[in-house]
């Protein structure tokens, strides 16, 4: 089970070798900082004409994606390949998952084939925790589990923010949209809170995450507040992150209408002008242009959306490198 321990920054502490990455709720500020520094070094490799270094030669990384994804799967595959790991992709179709093999048996099979690390995307919250408990020699990285967590997306978002703001300490980050169903928002909230940023969650009251709130409705994380009114929330923001709205939410009765959602919670030029000058606009993708984000903004000057993708590869390189090297101490 994941424990929701209070997130505390532990500056100056050394980085304990970690085997799995399941969420950011157990990351300290210093561990995030070290990882982002490594990711910066990896960006240099991405900029070379020959984008390959030999550091993970002989390591086997399996991407096990039981839910559709383009950017996250390709990003992990590219990250592994640039570090010279052998990357094997297993999807929902064409694998034994289609024949009804259980997740555990699939993972045990991959472990028996000596996979060093499994990157798991799964529709059910908690699936990576289940694997991490049962695998003895294979590491697990959560690439998105249901409505729960997406730690590498949050880390690449933190990297993108830090690159532009210099530091996350004291930055105001507004996360707009369906926070309740968003694993991106949830992992970002933990990572941002640990890094000392202040987070404003904004969206329809039906889409606020109850597990991040104490009874009575106050947020349980430090520096996290709720503000349903986007015009008020966006005031003086350093970063505005808007989330993908899933169309089926309207059918589930959580939205009055798409038009009303767009009118009240779409990030557009007029609303961005209330944020700080030069504020960053982010979106984890894939976008519904014209719904949660105005098309003119999606490809405008404040948009970090493509840089988020580039940083994602560098960040995942740093993460794979850290998980697959240097975990044993010299005798």
Q: How far is the CB of 57 from other proteins (least distance, A)?
A: 10
What CA–CA distance (Å, rounded) separates 158 from 168? 8
Q: Closer to other proteins by CB, 14 or 136: give it.
A: 14
Pick from 2, 26, 30, 38 the residue near other proteins by CB under 8 A: 38
Q: Does residue 318 belong to the site contacting other proteins (CB under 8 A)? A: yes
Q: CA-CA distances (angstroms) from residue 139 to 38, 62, 135, 152, 292?
A: 20, 10, 8, 15, 36
Q: Which of these, 51, 56, 111, lies nearest to 87 by C-alpha position?
A: 56
The one-character DSSP state at 213 is B
Pick from 45, 46, 258, 272 the residue near other proteins by CB under 8 A: 45
The one segment of 71-79, 129-137, 231-239, 322-330 that binds other proteins by CB under 8 A? 322-330
The one segment of 33-41, 67-75, 90-98, 160-168 that binds other proteins by CB under 8 A? 33-41
Q: Does residue 48 belong to the site contacting other proteins (CB under 8 A)? A: yes
Q: Does residue 321 belong to the site contacting other proteins (CB under 8 A)? A: yes
**Number of residues in contact with other proteins, rule: CB under 8 A?**
27
Q: Closer to other proteins by CB, 30 or 288: give it.
A: 30
The helix (H) or strand (E) run that includes residue 71 is helix 71-82
Q: How far is the CB of 46 from other proteins (least distance, A)?
A: 12
Q: Does residue 34 belong to the site contacting other proteins (CB under 8 A)? A: yes
The one segment of 97-105, 180-188, 238-246, 320-328 that binds other proteins by CB under 8 A? 320-328
First-last CA distance in the chain: 33
Residue 193 backbone phi and psi in degrees, to 5: -60, -40
Pick from 53, 97, 108, 272 the residue near other proteins by CB under 8 A: 53
Q: Which two structure tokens, joined as six digits, stand for 223?
A: 């520096």
- Check: CB of residue 243 under 8 Å from CB of residue 292: yes
Q: Closer to other proteins by CB, 50 or 210: give it.
A: 50
Pick from 30, 55, 246, 302 the residue near other proteins by CB under 8 A: 55
Q: Which two structure tokens, joined as six digits, stand for 68?
A: 């559709």
What CA–CA distance (Å, rounded) separates 237 from 243? 16
Q: Which residues contact 126 (CB under 8 A, 6 or more apart)?
A: 2, 145, 146, 148
- Check: CB of residue 277 under 8 Å from CB of residue 271: no
Q: How far is the CB of 83 from other proteins (least distance, A)?
A: 8
For the beta carbon of residue 248, count every other beta carbon within 10 angstroms: 9
Q: What are the strands, taking DSSP E only, across the chain? A: 60-65, 86-91, 117-122, 139-145, 172-176, 198-202, 224-226, 239-242, 280-282
Q: Does residue 229 belong to the site contacting other proteins (CB under 8 A)? A: no
Pick from 8, 10, 19, 41 the residue near other proteins by CB under 8 A: 41
Q: Closer to other proteins by CB, 87 or 318: give it.
A: 318
Pick from 10, 13, 19, 37 the residue near other proteins by CB under 8 A: 37
Q: Which two structure tokens, joined as six digits, stand for 276?
A: 């700080």
What CA–CA distance (Å, rounded) separates 71 from 40? 20
**What is the footprint of other proteins within residues 79-98 (CB under 8 A)?**
83
Q: Closer to other proteins by CB, 50 or 270: give it.
A: 50
Q: Which two structure tokens, joined as six digits, stand for 211?
A: 């597990």
Q: How far is the CB of 197 from other proteins (least distance, A)?
A: 24
Residue numbers at the binding site for other proteins (CB under 8 A): 14-15, 17, 34, 37-38, 40-42, 44-45, 48, 50, 52-55, 83, 318, 321-322, 325-330
């Amino acid at each position: 089970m994941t424990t929701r321990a209070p997130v505390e920054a532990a500056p100056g502490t050394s980085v304990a070798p970690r085997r799995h990455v399941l969420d950011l709720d157990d990351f300290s500020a210093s561990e995030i900082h070290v990882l982002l520094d490594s990711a910066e070094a990896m960006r240099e490799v991405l900029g070379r004409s020959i984008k390959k270094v030999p550091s993970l030669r002989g390591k086997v990384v399996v991407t096990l994606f039981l839910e559709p994804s383009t950017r996250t799967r390709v990003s992990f595959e590219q990250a592994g390949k640039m570090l010279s790991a052998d990357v094997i992709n297993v999807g929902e179709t064409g694998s034994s998952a289609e024949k009804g093999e259980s997740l555990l048996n699939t993972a045990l099979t991959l472990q028996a084939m000596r996979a060093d690390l499994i990157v798991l995307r799964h529709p059910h919250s908690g699936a990576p925790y289940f694997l991490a408990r049962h695998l003895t020699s294979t590491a697990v990285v959560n690439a998105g589990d249901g409505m729960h967590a997406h730690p590498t997306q949050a880390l690449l978002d933190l990297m993108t923010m830090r690159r532009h703001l210099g530091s996350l300490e004291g930055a105001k980050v507004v996360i707009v949209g369906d926070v309740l169903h968003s694993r991106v928002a949830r992992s970002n909230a933990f990572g941002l809170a640990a890094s000392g940023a202040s987070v404003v969650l904004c969206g329809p009251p039906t889409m606020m995450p109850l597990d991040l709130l104490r009874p009575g409705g106050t947020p349980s994380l430090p520096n996290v507040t709720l503000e349903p009114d986007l015009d008020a929330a966006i005031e003086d923001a350093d970063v505005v992150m808007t989330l993908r709205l899933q169309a089926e939410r309207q059918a589930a009765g959580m939205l009055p209408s798409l038009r009303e959602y767009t009118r009240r919670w779409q990030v557009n030029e007029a609303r961005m002008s209330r944020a700080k000058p030069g504020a960053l606009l982010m979106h984890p993708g894939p976008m519904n242009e014209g719904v949660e984000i105005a098309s003119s903004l999606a490809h405008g000057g404040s948009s970090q959306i493509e840089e988020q993708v580039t940083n994602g590869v560098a960040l995942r390189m740093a993460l794979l490198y850290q998980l697959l090297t240097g975990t044993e101490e010299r005798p």
